Amino acid sequence: MYTAIYKKVRSGYLAWIEEIPGVNTQGASRKEARANLADALSEFLIARRALTKRARSRGASIARERLSTA
């Protein structure tokens, strides 16, 4: 689970995921910003998984596991 932050600005809302630098967006309304943020997070995770897959295909020694902070 991640924390979404919304900041009201003149043109609408800025939004970002507090725990993941670089996952940010904007929207005319908070609802639009939330939807855009969900898309930004999804695209970020897809890109990171692709980078890991590429590294593994090049022979990098990579271990994967699920991590729970609870």
Contacts of 67 (CB under 8 A, 6+ apart): none
For the segment 30-70, what is each residue's pLDDT rounded down to a tens digit?
A: 999 999 999 999 999 999 999 999 998 999 999 889 888 77
Amino acid at the residue 37: L
pTM: 0.85
Residue where the block lists tokens 């670089």: 22
User: For residue 69, what is the DSSP state?
Assistant: -
The pLDDT of residue 69: 77
**What pLDDT does 64 receive?**
85
pLDDT band at 13 (very low <50, low <70, confident <90, very high): very high
| 59 Cβ neighbours under 8 A, 6+ residues apart | none
pLDDT at 43: 97
